[in-house]
Amino acid sequence: MGVYERQQREKKILEAAIKLFSEKGMHYTRIDEVAAQAKMSKGLTYFYFKSKEDLYMAVVKKAFDEFKEMFQKTLTKGKDQTGFENIVSLVDNFLEFSTEKRFFYECLLHLMGLVNLFNDDEKRKQIHPSIAESEYFHKLLAIQHDIPTIGIKIISKGIRDNSIRPELHPETTFYLIWSMLTGYERLIGSIEFDPKDLKIHTELWKNSFMKFLIELLKGPQYTPKLAAVQGSLF
């Protein structure tokens, strides 16, 4: 069997898995359903992927690759922009990815949880054995820092071109922004769902979120034209 034929079969199985996992969830999807969707035998599916969990980690790897590509394109397409402008685009692209590629985004959040477990010798035992043994999981462990590395480059670029405060530490600043975005995305449904007596609504929260982010990168003395920036972000 040639390399191309093998790659095409793997691609078909992966596409079938993405469709079924996103619709039913990985736990409620059987490998024979994936095989049927891919129009292949169950045995052949197991030939390419050792277990359902191994196949799931291959799906997570694809999600990771697309997320990384989004980061890289933000940097390369915005090569003539300032680092601050790159961050504005990255925030916009991040939130768009989390909405339009929802299943992939959830896969990435699950990966973060798996890495947290893996880093603790005791908690590592909670990882399903088939995931722990998956070659795709170990590939992901090896490249997990590729995405933040791009984000850190953007922050460093902004510090060099003076569009971002020079006293900021690139690594901690990027991880703070990432945690802010993850928290924003996780909580927006709660804010939108009948806040009752809470003195908050989505528009107020969006304004405050963006104001805080700009002050973080520019400094509290900076007075942005918030409406113009907001339009591209939200």
- Where do runs of H (alpha helix) occur along the chain? 3-24, 31-38, 42-48, 52-77, 83-100, 102-118, 129-132, 135-143, 146-160, 170-192, 202-218, 226-233
Separation CA 94–CA 231 (nearest Å): 15
The more confident residue out of 61 and 222 is 61
Task: Report yes or no: 103 and 18 within 8 Å, Cβ to Cβ.
Answer: yes
Helix/strand/coil for 125: helix
Averaged pLDDT of the chain: 90
Please compute the mean of the pLDDT values over residues 44-55 and round it to a whole number. 96
Length of the chain: 234
Q: Is the pLDDT of residue 227 over 50?
A: no
Q: What is the pLDDT of residue 1?
A: 63
Residue 56 is encoded by which pair of tokens? 């799931």
Residue 65 is encoded by which pair of tokens? 């690759």
Chain centroid to Cα 110, Å, comes to: 10
The more confident residue out of 200 and 218 is 218
The superfamily in CATH containing domain 1-49 is Homeodomain-like (1.10.10.60)
Task: Report yes or no: 37 and 20 within 8 Å, Cβ to Cβ.
Answer: yes
One-letter amino acid at 13 equals: I
Q: Is the pLDDT of residue 138 over 90?
A: yes
Class of domain 52-233: mainly alpha
Q: Is the pLDDT of residue 174 over 80?
A: yes
Q: Start-end ranges of CATH 1.10.10.60 in the chain?
A: 1-49
Tell me which of 13-27, 119-133, 219-233 is least confident. 219-233
Q: Is the pLDDT of residue 228 over 50?
A: no
Separation CA 14–CA 73 (nearest Å): 24
Alpha carbon separation from 30 to 51, 127, 133, 178, 225 (Å, rounded): 10, 20, 19, 34, 52
pLDDT in tens, 198-214: 777 777 878 888 889 99
pLDDT in tens, 83-130: 999 999 999 999 999 999 999 999 999 999 999 999 999 999 999 999
Q: Start-end ranges of CATH 1.10.357 in the chain?
A: 52-233
Separation CA 85–CA 36 (nearest Å): 47
